[in-house]
Structure 1
Amino acid sequence: MRIVIDGRMLSWTGIGRYTAALLEGLEAIDRSNEYIVLMRQEDWARWKPQEANFRRVECNIDPYSPAEQTTLPKILRDLAPDVVHFVTPNAAALYRGTKVVTVHDLTLLDFDTSRGSLPKRLAGKAKRLPFRLIFQRQLATATRIVTDTGYVRDQLIERFGLDPAKVTAVWIAADSAELTEAREETLEGVSASDSLIFYVGNYFPYKNVRVLIEALALVSRSRPDVKLVLAGKTGEYQEGLLALAESLNVADRVILPGFISDGQLNWLYKNSAMYVYPSLSEGFGLQGLEAMAQGLPVLSSTATCLPEVYGDAALYFDPHAAGDLAQKIAELLARPELAAEMASRGYARLPLFSWRATAEATHQIYLEAVQWRR
């Protein structure tokens, strides 16, 4: 077979990581089929083929651009693939060949992620309608659809009336080897003697980070040693988060370091009391698995797919109830034996996830897609 994989988003945080890990896994298991990876020139250094049956083809078409719908289908037809894998559902909806489409989550359908100035937000909102149309077209014309979790699979089938045989859930995995090797670096404003609540990620409203500050205000009444570390670029959301912390009298306990190095991340994993994941919508929830891999007990929202992924290896809270979260935080802080048990459960759950297994399952879907088309 000739398999084309859309790798134009290798520089993107989540999708790029998924694509790179999938390619690495496919190179490990398939030495016979031909693979062509479409890549933008600016991402050329991010992935280099290690096997003779894999090669890169330059394709400088930006994601979510008009050319993605007009020019990209022609490029694909000229490559004459047996199957194309689109790692997101936004690309080349008019391509009519055999295709596998990965749908990671439904966040863009359910939540407004526009940000920036008013003109930018309005432009972002205006793009939602064409995205929905492209999304629905891609679902209708895909030969096979891959989701990261059973939750997203079931939602797609229910909302869009898809044939269940067409949609397969394939779990992904967490990578922590590089992080473990990073030399620890301390973080200004905190020390190992603090009881640290840790979150790292982005700050779109659906990430629900505000509930962490609200819960901190409740916990801090009886635990003056507790601090909340919100790592990652907060951008235009930082002012609102700081204002909330100020209004709840916990501004001195909220640490916003922005982007942090692997060494600082490593230190936080080693010295935090827990990792908290308050999101209202996820397709998988890698950060929680990464925290488990680093030995942290995990507190998780009950929303969407998170209970499926974390199983009994997390303590759960209602993401709309700061009081429920505060109670769980206080319980973990007061009961070291519970924290140790949850950390142990996290380690025990990790073997269920592997990028090699992801690659093997995805490879099988390629074979099924081609066979079905024939």
Structure 2
Amino acid sequence: MNPLPFRRLTINGKFLTARPTGVHRVADQLIRQIVLNQGLLDGVFATSPAIVAPRSAPDGTQGVHVERYGRLRGQLWEQMDLPRAARSDLLLNLCNLGPVALGSAITMIHDAQVFITPQSYSFAFRTWYKTILPLIGQRHRRILTVSHFSAEQLTRAGVADAERISVIHNGVDHVLAYPRVPEIIERLSLARRRFVVALSSTQAHKNIKVLLDAFSSPELGDTKLVLFGGHDRDDFERLSYNVPANVVFAGPVTDGELRSLLEAALCVAFPSTTEGFGLPPLEGMALGCPAIVAPCGALPEVAGQGALYAAADNPREWIEAIRSLAASPPFWLERSAVGVAQAANFTWRKAGTDLCNVIRLVAEDR
């Protein structure tokens, strides 16, 4: 019998030391699925999977042992310490980056945004990503991404050849487990079905300006736009955006608060000009909140017929789509049901099965 090619599956745990982001939440969900799907990896590795992380990392996640290693931090740790710790292993990187020096790796690159809309990122960030992503694509055994759109864009950007990229769609059913926190509705003085939820971001590709322009119209004067996230009114006004009076800045919200906002909202609006996946509108759809999205990036792939569409550069279309939901309760109920059905296609169980199948394929390819 041939010896197993790898001692174990090692998971890059650098993300444990950083502020939580959407990418990190995806990693957390996929690690949970690796634990639940251990049977799919039977006989592939000599020992159980482990997370290798910097010494400052907190305790384990999702029942996987955390092994602290090295003395460095951040990107230096990832590029110098981690390859030594995982030199006998198959390394899984779930948060866009991984060590270039270690070829026995599978890396999830969520999108190609630094190539598509570089103006959304700082010079240092986009320079680093544009340099390292093609090196990862050339060196690592397999590249994962979260949509067919992202796969096409990564290929076009020269990150990796199409045949070396596997698509694993995100799940969305995590949102159904969030405990409701309905107090946020009263705290923000909101009326049920009289407000629209959107992500507060000044990044160019998030395109929040088209919503601000739409809500400047008297036709939406009796409807509020609730923006959740880290950017506030001052951030938008510093960019010379006109922020109308019916815009409410909720600030960062908890998972439970977001669920309560989405369940009480008229709709969720997502006008991005490009997205690698587009989780917020799908989260809304899963909770019965109709979604209006721009027909851009991966949004048509993910939202399908479950969402309404409005042009990314046309405030009038956003006004009309929002008013159509407000004017007809039967139409709202129809769009709610269609959205729920579409969101049900995206589960973490399926994502985990797809991931474990890729891991096994790579590990057994000698």
- Partner residue of 1:72? 82
Distance 1:223 1:103, change over 3 A: closer
CA RMSD of aligned residues (A): 2.5
Moved more, 182-191 or 346-355: 182-191
Structure 1 Cα separation of the partners of residues 254 and 127 of structure 2: 37
For the 8 Å contact 1:275–1:288, the answer to whether it is kept is: yes
Aligned 1:246-265 pairs, distance under 5 A: 246=243, 250-251=244-245, 253-265=246-258
- Partner residue of 1:56? 66
Q: Does 1:3 align with 2:9?
A: yes
1:329, distance to aligned residue in structure 2 (A): 1.6
1:293, distance to aligned residue in structure 2 (A): 1.7
- Partner residue of 2:129? 131
Distance 1:228 1:182, change over 3 A: closer
Q: Does 1:369 align with 2:362?
A: yes
CA deviation map 1:197-229 (0-9, x unaligned): 1113543222111111101113xx234311111
Structure 1 Cα separation of the partners of residues 234 and 206 of structure 2: 11
Aligned residues: 350
1:239, distance to aligned residue in structure 2 (A): 4.4
For the 8 Å contact 1:7–1:19, the answer to whether it is kept is: no
- Partner residue of 2:3? none
3-state SS of paired residue (2:219): coil
Give 1:36's aligned amino acid: A
Give 1:154's aligned amino acid: E
Alignment partner of 1:305 out of 278, 286, 298? 298
Give 1:203's aligned amino acid: T
For the 8 Å contact 1:184–1:266, the answer to whether it is kept is: no
Distance 1:68 1:303, change over 3 A: same
Structure 2 Cα separation of the partners of residues 164 and 292 of structure 1: 30
- Partner residue of 1:87? 94
Alignment partner of 1:283 out of 276, 287, 290? 276
> Tell me, which stretches of 5 or more residues in structure 2 are unaligned?
1-5
TM-score, normalised to structure 1's length?
Answer: 0.85
- Partner residue of 2:170? 172
3-state SS of paired residue (1:160): coil
1:262, distance to aligned residue in structure 2 (A): 4.1
For the 8 Å contact 2:52–2:85, the answer to whether it is kept is: no
Structure 1 Cα separation of the partners of residues 179 and 320 of structure 2: 31
Give 1:132's aligned amino acid: K
> Tell me, which stretches of 5 or more residues in structure 1 are unaligned?
116-123
1:243, distance to aligned residue in structure 2 (A): 5.7
- Partner residue of 1:118? none
Alignment partner of 1:347 out of 334, 340, 345? 340
3-state SS of paired residue (1:229): strand
3-state SS of paired residue (2:322): helix
Distance 1:106 1:216, change over 3 A: same
Structure 2 Cα separation of the partners of residues 130 and 254 of structure 1: 36
Structure 2 Cα separation of the partners of residues 262 and 227 of structure 1: 21
Alignment partner of 1:107 out of 90, 113, 121? 113
Moved more, 190-199 or 323-332: 190-199
Q: Does 1:23 align with 2:31?
A: yes
CA deviation map 1:99-152 (0-9, x unaligned): 11111011123334677xxxxxxxx41343332121111001121111101111
TM-score, normalised to structure 2's length?
Answer: 0.87
Moved more, 340-349 or 150-159: 150-159
Aligned 1:204-283 pairs, distance under 5 A: 204-218=203-217, 221-234=218-231, 238-240=235-237, 244-246=241-243, 250-251=244-245, 253-283=246-276
Distance 1:156 1:215, change over 3 A: same
1:187, distance to aligned residue in structure 2 (A): 4.2
- Partner residue of 1:196? 195
Structure 1 Cα separation of the partners of residues 159 and 190 of structure 2: 52
3-state SS of paired residue (1:168): strand
